[in-house]
Amino acid sequence: MAELPKIVDLRQSPTALRVQRGVMRFLRNAHDFCCYAEVPLSNGRRADVLALGPRGEIWIVEIKSSLVDFQVDRKWPDYKDFCDRFFFAKPPELDPDIFPDDEGLMVGDGHDAAILRMGRESALAPARRKAMLLKLARLGADRIHVLMDPQDL
């Protein structure tokens, strides 16, 4: 049998992957969100976690695994046009005071996560929401297809 392709792209640090796992588990278990990892956006950016809620709400979570990771990466405002709420997520050992006070903040480890500060709601325009929902439906179906038929790449 052929080896199944990996869903993660392996660019993330072990710390970022642990935070990602905890955030995705938390959003699914506590908020009934379905989560996607590493979602390409139409502006060329890639969301670390994109979560789709039961009422169609879209949250984006940008994972920062260290102070340096946060300091060198200033692309995060580019994600806010693609979600209803934006959050940073950090590991427990990273100081929460480095993050902007007016953005959502989560803390996560390899098992779970918690919201430290709720992200502000900024509803997507209907046309953008429709485009995002279509993109997520196709992305999810494509990822399942690759898992089911890895030779059809």
Question: Please, is 94 exposed, middle or buried when counting C-beta atoms within 10 Å of its C-beta (0-12, 13-18, 19+)?
Answer: buried
Q: Which among 17, 15, 13 is positioned nearest to 37, based on CA atoms? A: 17
2 pLDDT band, cuts 50/70/90, is very low
pLDDT digits (tens, 9 = 90+) for 33-54: 999 999 999 999 999 999 999 9
Q: Which residues contact 82 (CB under 8 A, 6 or more apart)?
A: 41, 42, 43, 47, 50, 58, 60, 124, 128, 132
pLDDT of residue 130 exceeding 70: yes
CB 105 within 8 A of CB 115: yes
Instruction: For residues 90-119, give the mean pLDDT.
Output: 98
**Beta carbons within 10 angstroms of residue 112's beta carbon:** 14
Per-chain mean pLDDT for the chain = 92
DSSP label at residue 1: -
Cα distance between residue 19 and residue 8, in whole Å: 14
pLDDT band at 4 (very low <50, low <70, confident <90, very high): very low
> Residue 10 — very low, low, confident or very high, per pLDDT cuts 50/70/90?
low
- 4-36: burial string, b at 16+ Cβ within 10 Å, e else: eeeeeeeebeebbbbbbbbbbbbbeeeeebebb
Give the pLDDT mean for 135-151: 90
pLDDT above 60: residue 6? no
**pLDDT, tens digit (0-9, with 9 covering 90-100), for 41-97:** 999 999 999 999 999 999 999 999 999 999 998 899 999 999 999 999 999 999 999
Which amino acid is present at 149?
A: D
The per-residue pLDDT for 11 is 76
Check residue 1 and give its pLDDT.
Answer: 43
Q: Retrieve residue 58's tokens.
A: 């879209």
